[in-house]
Amino acid sequence: MMRRLHGSAILLWLLALAALAWVAIPIYLIQPFAPQTRAAVAWSYALKSRAPWVTGALLAAAIAVALGGGRRLRTPVAGTLAAIALLVLGGVAWLATRNHFEWMFHPLPAARFAPAAEADWVDPQDFVLGVSVGEVARAYPVRALAYHHVVNDVVGDEPIVATY
């Protein structure tokens, strides 16, 4: 049965939950198949763009609290709670640097091309998005763009981003 929990352990959990909320709110707001309000997008940008350093700062503060907690955090209950809080915080600080949309749709590492006559992975009736700059004409199969969503490329001398 838990008795009075040491203040440091409680503080560590508050820091962990604050970091978790900071990262979880934009993930919740920016979900596919759910509507977004302007405010939701604005808040998501505000939280997500700052998440790496905010969660990093919360993690640093938590480590300081854990070290300052001293012997009282080395009891079985408080120590376990403190360790879990730190692990959660570490995980959240790592997640804050990730782009989970790219887990769902891996980016194309580098745009590479083959002559149209050799493009046997595209059927004649498959759709492409064609771009021409000067003498250079490139086709981006819709099937690939629908997955990757974003392809950075340079066509002729024009840097472009192909999207679908």
Residues at the site binding other proteins, with contacts judged by CB under 8 A: 30-33, 35-36, 41-42, 44-46, 49, 99, 101-102, 105-109, 111-117, 119, 121-133, 135-144, 146-152, 155, 158-164
Shortest Cβ 103–other proteins spacing (Å):
10
Residue with smaller CB distance to other proteins, 4 or 103: 103
Smaller CB separation from other proteins, 84 or 111: 111
What's the CA gap between 153 and 110, in Å, rounded? Answer: 8
C-alpha dihedral, 144 to 150 to 151 to 152, nearest 10°: 180
User: Which of 73, 67, 74, 86 is closest to 14 using CA atoms?
Assistant: 86
- Smallest gap from Cβ 98 to other proteins, in A, equals 12
| Nearest-approach distance from CB 93 to other proteins, in angstroms | 18
